[in-house]
């Protein structure tokens, strides 16, 4: 049985659409339009899609920050609406890398504060905060004020805050946005470690190379609906993108590149054809289409 389940989830927002300098009218936005989703324990599922597709709305529902208009959502068998208090004990949330902290408090003080909000005694909160600061490589900066942290350091502290209550389900909404490549790599390494520990993770990101690297499964959400889902390689095939076998060879003194759709078997066939034709094979490999290419073309980008 899946650890996280959402069935028929719908969420509608009413906003104002400006028609002129002094006129506006109500506009209804269907953020979620019948979403079914499930995640097995210890797996990482990534949600990808354009802005406004419903990713953050879904994250907020599982975090008990939003009520669905229709449908049901469960974490560990607990209803996120009817058992919200118990669900919060299972869930860790990171919405923005640099939000929710007190700038003049140190990283250690911030984590102690959040630990006590979760009901930990001061001594236990202090112990847990120190443990997490070591695990996210912020021990040397533990007494520095948060406002002096770099974006990468803030993101790692945000991840530590999401872990303060030892969650079984981690919600990570754009955890590396605005972070330099080195900082983003450190955050990804931490997330991989959490996967190895068996934590269930729902992850959103516009960085599809990052998504492909981390995910057990990827769900493509468009217009409040999940339109495709699967492991990264299977999802690419489902979207019509296959690996390409490529052989670079010299034939009759002229360099040529041979290619055909397929995996290792197609590559072996190409190499055999080249050798039988008397060509010298210089290079042979299978080029995997990046997930980004498949998703962007599916969404109508160039």
Do 257 and 156 lie in a common domain?
no
99: its two tokens: 């939000």
Instruction: Mark whether 57 and 197 lie in a shared domain.
Output: yes
196 and 262 co-located in one domain: no
Rounded to an integer, the average pLDDT of 196-212 is 92
> In the structure encoding, which two tokens stand for residue 131, read together?
């443990």
- CB contact at 8 A, 208 and 174: no
Residue 201: which pLDDT band, with cuts at 50, 70 and 90?
very high
pLDDT single digits (tens) 89-118: 999 999 877 788 999 999 999 999 999 999
pLDDT exceeds cutoff 90 at 30: no
Tell me, yes or no, whether 87 and 190 share the same domain.
Answer: yes
Among 219, 180, 222, residue whose Cα is nearest residue 50:
222
Tell whether 47 and 184 lie within a shared domain: yes
Domain count, the chain: 2
pLDDT exceeding 70 applies to what percent of the chain? Answer: 98
**Which residues make Cβ contacts (< 8 Å) with residue 65, sequence separation at least 6?**
93
Residue 302 is predicted with a pLDDT of: 45
**Contact yes or no for 179/205 (Cβ under 8 A):** no
What is the 3-state secondary structure of 129-168? HHHHHHHCCCHHHCCCEHHHCCHHHHHHHHHHHHCCCCCC
Q: Report the distance separating Cα 11 and Cα 32, nearest Å.
A: 5
Average pLDDT of span 17-30: 75
Question: Is the model more confident about 53 or about 78?
Answer: 78
Looking at residue 154, its pLDDT comes to 93
Q: For residue 73, is it within any domain?
A: yes
Same structural domain, 279 and 195: no
- Confidence label for 23 from pLDDT (cuts 50, 70 and 90): confident
Q: What is the CATH number of the domain that holds 197?
A: 3.40.50.300
Instruction: Spell out the residues 6+ positions from residue 254 whose beta carbon is closer than 8 angstroms to its own.
Output: none
CATH number, domain with residue 263: 3.10.20
pLDDT tens profile 133-162: 999 999 999 999 999 999 889 999 999 999
Mean pLDDT in residue range 11-35: 80
Q: Which of the 8 DSSP states describes residue 175?
A: T
Three-state secondary structure call for residue 108: helix
Domain that residue 287 falls in? 244-298
Instruction: Confirm whether 236 is domain-assigned.
Output: no
Cα three-residue angle 243-245-251, rounded to 5 degrees: 160
Does one domain contain both 109 and 147? yes
Is 0.75 topped by the overall pTM? yes
- In a 13 Å sphere around the CA of 231, the CA atoms on its Cβ side amount to 4
| Best CA proximity match to 197, nearest among 164, 169, 155, 230 | 169
């Amino acid at each position: 049985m899946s650890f996280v389940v959402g069935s028929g989830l719908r969420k509608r927002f009413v906003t104002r659409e400006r028609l002129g300098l002094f006129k506006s009218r109500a506009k209804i936005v269907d953020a979620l339009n019948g979403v079914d989703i499930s995640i097995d324990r210890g797996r990482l599922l990534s949600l990808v899609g354009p802005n406004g597709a419903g990713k953050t709305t879904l994250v907020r529902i599982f975090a008990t920050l939003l009520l669905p208009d229709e449908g049901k959502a469960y974490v560990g068998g607990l209803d996120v609406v009817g058992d919200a208090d118990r669900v919060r004990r299972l869930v860790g949330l990171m919405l923005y890398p640099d939000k929710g902290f007190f700038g003049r408090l140190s990283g250690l003080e911030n984590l102690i504060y959040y630990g006590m909000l979760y009901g930990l005694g001061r001594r236990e909160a202090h112990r847990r905060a120190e443990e997490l600061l070591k695990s996210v490589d912020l021990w040397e900066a533990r007494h520095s004020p948060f406002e002096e942290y770099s974006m990468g350091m803030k993101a790692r502290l945000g991840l530590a805050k999401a872990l303060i209550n030892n969650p079984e389900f981690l919600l990570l909404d754009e955890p590396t946005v605005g972070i330099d490549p080195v900082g983003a790599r450190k955050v990804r390494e931490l997330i991989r470690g959490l996967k190895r520990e068996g934590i269930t993770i729902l992850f959103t990101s516009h960085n599809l190379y990052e998504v492909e690297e981390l995910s057990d499964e990827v769900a493509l959400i468009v217009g409040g609906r999940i339109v495709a889902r699967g492991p990264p390689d299977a999802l690419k095939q489902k979207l019509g993108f296959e690996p390409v076998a490529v052989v670079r060879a010299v034939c009759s003194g002229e360099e040529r590149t041979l290619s055909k759709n397929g995996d290792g078997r197609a590559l072996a066939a190409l190499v055999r054809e080249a050798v039988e034709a008397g060509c010298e094979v210089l290079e042979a490999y299978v080029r995997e289409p990046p997930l980004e290419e498949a998703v962007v073309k599916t969404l109508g980008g160039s």
